[in-house]
Amino acid sequence: MTNPAMKTTRIAVISDTHSLLRPEVLPLLTSVQQILHLGDVGDAAILEALSKIAPVTAIRGNIDHSGPCAQLPETEVVEIAGQSLYLLHNLETLDLNPSAAGFTAVLYGHSHKPEIAHRNGVLYFNPGSCGPRRFQLPITIGFLHITPDNPIQAEIVELPAPA
């Protein structure tokens, strides 16, 4: 049973902004402790804007080939609230066994398709894309909720479709 006095760590997970930070995203981020951007940032100004809300960890995606975003790492390991998270842009490039490496979650983007899955005790989480709409896919962001006595929980939030 969860103790309400225990602090929940709330992490925003976004990907594939492709140089577009939708204004409706910002109010959703007000109560997060950290923001993770999973690549295809497109414009470093997005990371700057996000860093005014909470600390940001970002990796580069396949479109981040010039300017400051090209200097972002390809992968990153982040430890938050006792959880070990592995960040990469394209899940197809995963070249390690997350379970054997002790990761709680693998966070990725690239496909623009939101997904929450569990494999071998590891959370695989794609928050989808909150940048320009691709095909008929939803515009989404994700959140991770971590409490001391519960496994990490993933959430996908769909944004309203632009008019």
The order of strands in the sheet holding 75-80 is: 75-80, 83-88, 105-107, 122-126, 115-119
pLDDT category of residue 1 using cuts at 50, 70 and 90? very low
pLDDT category of residue 148 using cuts at 50, 70 and 90? confident
Give all domains of the chain, ordered by start, each with its CATH number.
9-158 (3.60.21.10)
What is this structure's pTM? 0.94
Q: What are the pLDDT digits (tens) for 2-19? A: 445 568 999 999 999 999
Pairing of strands 83-88, 75-80: antiparallel
Q: 3 CB contacts (<8 Å, ≥6 apart)? A: 149
Give the model's pLDDT for residue 123: 98
Q: What does the block give as tokens for 128?
A: 């989808």
Q: What are the pLDDT digits (tens) for 87-114? A: 999 999 999 999 999 999 999 999 999 9
Give the model's pLDDT for residue 151: 80
Please compute the mean of the pLDDT values over residues 117-132 and round it to a whole number: 96
Handedness of CA 20, 154, 87, 128 (dihedral sign): negative
- By C-alpha distance, which of 55, 51, 32, 35 is closest to 130? 35
Asked if 141 and 125 touch (Cβ cutoff 8 Å), the reply is: no
Give the model's pLDDT for residue 112: 95
Q: What are the pLDDT digits (tens) for 47-90? A: 999 999 999 999 999 999 999 999 999 999 999 998 999 999 99
Please compute the mean of the pLDDT values over residues 139-147 and round it to a whole number: 96
